[in-house]
Amino acid sequence: MTATAAPGIVTGGNPPNAVVQIQPGMQVQPVVLVDQNGNYITSSGGTAIALATTGGPVNVSNGTSPTAGQILTANSGTAATFQALTAGQIPGTLNGTTFSGTITPSAGIPPYKSGFTSFATGGAANLLNATSGGNQVPIAGTFYYAATFIPMNVTLTGVIVSSGTVGTTDNWIVALWPGTGGAALATSSLSGIVAPAANTKKAFPFTGTVNVDGPGAYIIGIQSNGTTARFLSFSNAVEGFITGQLAGTFATIPSLTPASTYSANAGPFATTY
């Protein structure tokens, strides 16, 4: 027995409607697909596509079963296929979407606007004079380091370091590590660069630019070959970021196991650029 369409129900055309008699025991969950333009997604024959609960191939514009990572999307008003997302892209229909779960961007987050590369240890970038922090006398060969936070993908050229009341004389090396430690991502020349003049900042370029992913924590460290030139350090008794020091030999860059707490006068005033 076939049911008769009720008044107003269209069984042909676009968009189509249909009446189907449901037999006892049948479990049917029809779904009509609509693309991002609000149009019904149709097959090549012009019939609206209804999907039942099935694990088999889904016929969408003669498509096949999707593979992992593909999404159903429309290239035009009526054609829809399963397609892979291009790296770094999000479908336009997701713009403004609120995600309640954790998002882990394995490739980082691109900057909304380019041109900002200054990320400072302790989050404080504009520190110039010796009264701003501790006037620290280094131990030759020891790396002094502090954590910094980089919120987006960025290309870094080097590190800017602040000196204390005594400058020049010694050579310094700067290094950048991942926040979890390990091998350094970049260093300045291992021959060393003359320390800044007293109470000033100086740029220490890496041996080559380095691309880092954000958001994430990183660690900036400095090393001196002598004990004359002084660097500015965080001297407060308590702070909310890690600092530390690691004894070593000048021009030898260690695999770093970062401290888990803050120590006064160990972390240098420094910023990436």
- The pLDDT score that the predictor gives to residue 55 is 39
First to last CA, the chain: 77
Phi, psi of 94 (to 5 degrees): -90, -10
Cβ proximity of 49 and 57 under 8 Å = no
pLDDT by residue (tens digit) across 112-165? Answer: 556 667 788 877 755 545 567 899 999 999 999 999 999 999 999 999 999 999
- How crowded is residue 223: how many other Cβ atoms within 10 Å of its Cβ? 30
For residue 16 the two structure tokens come to 């189509």
Fold annotation for 130-272: Jelly Rolls (2.60.120)
Residues ≥6 apart with Cβ < 8 Å to 54: none
Q: 246 to each of 3, 33, 107, how far by Cα in Å? A: 83, 61, 30
Q: With helix as H, strand as E and coil as C, how does the chain read?
A: CCCCCCCCCCCCCCCCCCCCCCCCCCCCCCCECECCCCCECECCCCCECECCCCCCCCCCCCCCCCCCCEEEEECCCCCEEEEECCCCCCCHHHCCCCCCCCCCCCCCCCCCCCCCCCCEECCCCCCCCHHHCEEECCCCCCEEEEEEEECCCEEEEEEEEEECCCCCCCEEEEEEEECCCECCCEEECCCCEECCCCCCEEEEEEEEEEEECCCEEEEEEEEECCCCCCEEECCCCCCCCCEEEECCCCCCCCCECCCCCCCCCCCECEEEC
Residues ≥6 apart with Cβ < 8 Å to 118: 125, 271, 272, 273
CATH 2.60.120 maps onto the chain at 130-272
b/e 241-250 (16+ beta carbons within 10 angstroms → b): bbbbbbeeeb
Q: What is the dihedral of CA 178, 184, 185, 189, to 10 degrees?
A: 140
| Mean pLDDT confidence for 82-107 | 62
Residues ≥6 apart with Cβ < 8 Å to 86: none
Average pLDDT value over all residues in the chain: 77
Across 86-95, 168-177, 249-258, least confident range: 86-95
Q: With helix as H, strand as E and coil as C, how does 7-48 read?
A: CCCCCCCCCCCCCCCCCCCCCCCCCECECCCCCECECCCCCE
pTM across the whole model: 0.64
Distance from C-alpha of 43 to C-alpha of 206, rounded to nearest angstrom: 58
pLDDT by residue (tens digit) across 205-258? Answer: 999 999 999 889 999 999 999 999 999 999 988 888 999 999 999 999 999 999
- The pLDDT score that the predictor gives to residue 145 is 97
